[in-house]
Structures are given as structure tokens and as C-alpha cells.
Copies of this chain bind each other. A is one copy, B any other.
Amino acid sequence: MPNGSHGQNAGAGALLAILRDGRARTRAELAELTGLSRSTVSQRLDGLIAQHWVVAGEGSISSGGRPAAVFAFNEGARVVLAADLGATHARLAVVDLGLTVLAERAMELPVDRGPERTLERVVTAFRELLAADGPDPAHVCGVGVGLPGPVEHASGRPVNPPLMPGWDGFPVPEWLGERLAVPPAGPEAGPEAGPEVARVPVDRVLVDNDVNMMALGEHWAAGPAVDHLIFIKMGTGIGCGIITGGRLHRGAQGAAGDVGHVRVPASDAPCRCGNSGCLEAVAGGASMAAVLREAGIEARGGRDVVALMRAGDLRATRLVRQAGREVGTVMASIVNFFNPSVIVIGGDIAEAGEQVLAGVRETIYSRSLPLATQHLAIRASELRDRAGVVGAALMVVEDVLAPDAIDRAVT
């Protein structure tokens, strides 16, 4: 057992944890909050300042009349590269330690072409973002990736992901870490890329399921007062991310939140999983588009269905509303079971706004217990398209700024 788990003075990491609330503080305040002596506080602050985690400034006039030095968390000390890969689209971002998105890019990127072709494009796009927007590659402290399938969190490897042929067991963290660290080969190595983005050495690549990342992002946006949150992604497929006691609940096999294949009553619609009557088969974007195509209306996926609804197509509107009701029916049992304080609806179908929310609310409020719904908020995603990259960045930031990790970095 390492010493840290039982016996430890408040180290540099604990000081930084206090400063992360965004308030600048004096040495005296920090000594009071930690129980450390002022000289120890000063010594630890020196270590944090030397590595740019903390910046010093002049604060308000202290009681003695002289301005006291104040210390603040430096959100710009490092950046994180975050990628949110969906089945067909990806969003990439450079994010600072305060979760501000400094640069981002959305692009078509179908994951069914296999891990190497997909991740090669991610690496190139990360290099371009760094070159174009200027953060020093040496300031990259980690990479966070969300993937559209089950991921073994500890290893960051996909586990039998149904939409991702060729990805099963692929070592995403190792592959990305190695590829980012070496200079790009071939035409990419030309003068356009610039030598300053040639190498991005990172020792921390964390990978998880995309819906878990979105739940983390939305929970951060909702604020720390929200303890129990369920994020529902309504896109091509349907899945949940679950926050309990402020932390992600991944489940025994990391499969928690996989509600897309729950059977809904009174449906025998065939599902791509091989069964019938699954929630996705009636409320997934792909299924709704297929229903419209059968009626002779052109629709490739959920985004088209929502676009048709916005254009006033009644069949699309009815489908979206009914999709909300079907999701609400499944969630009604889960609300009784889990008693969340907030349910956030995101994904392409959530862009339908009130049409889909009304269906979800209607069934949850009529079928769940009053005690579980009296303070329950059911709302659309705040971060929308950015929920995944913010969550992926947060996963990395929490790892980088964990007090133990900072204690080791600042000695």
C-alpha cells in the first residue's frame, strides 16, 4: 500500500484542489483551509507556480493595510485534446483546464472504416488544430476520446462494439499515444504542418463510451449540486450515461446505460440487433428514417427526420413525438428505480426540442411515482454538440489534477 492512501500531509495537490473553485486566495486563507503552516503553504505554492499550475497576483487590501498576494488556479496551464467520435460524425476540440473550448472542428468520420483509418484522421486533425490555434504542443497534458460503443474503461479498448467493425480490443490509447508522439510521415510532414506541431508527446490517453462522456459534460454544466443525473442520447441508437453521487456509474462490465434494446410494449418492429420490439427499433433515428423512406420520403437518418419535422412534415413530427413517448415509457421504470434529480436529453433527435421533450415528459410524469418526479427536471442538453468533447476533456482534467498526481508532479 502506498503511503499516500493512509498518511499524508495536505500536499500541493490539495492546495490546487482548493484553488480549482476559481477563487483567488491568500497564503493565510490557504493555511487556514488546510491546517498547514504559512511557510509550508508558501513552499508548496512555489512548486505549483514553477510548473504554471498556479499564478500569483496582487489581491485586495488586507486588514493590515498592505495588499496581500493572492494565488489562483491557472486554467491555461495545460490543454487537453478531446475527441467525440459518433457512428458517422466526429467533433474534436482543444480544451483548457477550466473546460473552455479553445479550438474545435466537426467533421464527417464514419467509424466503420476501422480503427487505423479513423484514428489517423483524428491525429491529423489534432495536429492541424494545434498548428492553427497556437497552443504549444508541449502543453498538451492528455487526450480524451469518446467512442460509440462499449469500452473497457481500464484499458480503453472497445469491447465487441456493434457499430465499429475491426475495433474489438483495439489498443486505442497506446496507438494514439505513439502516433501523436512521432513526427508525421509523408506529405503531412511538409512545411504546412510546421515543425512545432510535429510531435505531441502525451502519456495520458483516456478512452470511454461516448454517452458516458456526454453525461460527464452535462453533469459539469449542471453544476455540483446535481448528484444524480441521467443523460439520454437519442441519435442513430439510444443510450444513457449515469451519474450517481456526482460520479459516473459504469456498471459491472462497463455496459451500464445500454437501454436501446429494452423491449417496449406493443411493438414487434425488427431491430438491427436481431430481436424485435427494441426501443431503438421504434425511437432510434435510423428506424424513424426507415419508416419515412417506406412512405416515399427521403431521409437518411435522425438529422433528416428532425429537418423534415422543422419543415412542417407531419409524419416526421408524429414520429419524433412518439419516439419521445417510447423513451419516456422505458425511462418511467428507471425513474422509479434510480430517482434522478435531472434527466438530460441529447443527441441528434434532441435537436427536435419541445416536440421530443413533451413526449418524454408526458409518459414519465404519468407513469412514475409522484415522490420520484416532484422535483425531477427533464430538459434538453445545455452543451448540445459539445457535451462529448467537454466530458472527454473533463475525464482527462480530473486525472491530471487529481491531488495524488499533482503531489507526484510537484516535488
Contact = CB atoms under 8 A, between A and B. Distances in A.
A6 B251 CA distance: 30
A100 interface: no
Interface string A320-346: 000000000010111011111100000
Contacts of A36: 7
B8 A35 contact: yes
A312 B242 CA distance: 45
A87 to B, nearest CB: 18
A245 interface: yes
A340 B252 contact: yes
A314 interface: no
Contacts of A7: 9-10, 14, 34-36
Interface string A331-372: 011101111110000000000000000000000000101011
Interface stretch (A131-139, A188-196, A253-261): A253-261
Given A6-B10, A252-B340, 14 more contacts: A1-B33, A3-B34, A242-B338, A245-B245, A245-B249, A251-B339, A251-B372, A252-B372, A259-B333, A259-B336, A263-B367, A265-B265, A337-B338, A338-B338
Interface of A: 1, 3, 6-10, 14, 17-18, 33-36, 150, 159-160, 227-228, 240, 242, 244-245, 247, 249-259, 261-263, 265, 330, 332-334, 336-341, 367, 369, 371-372, 374-376
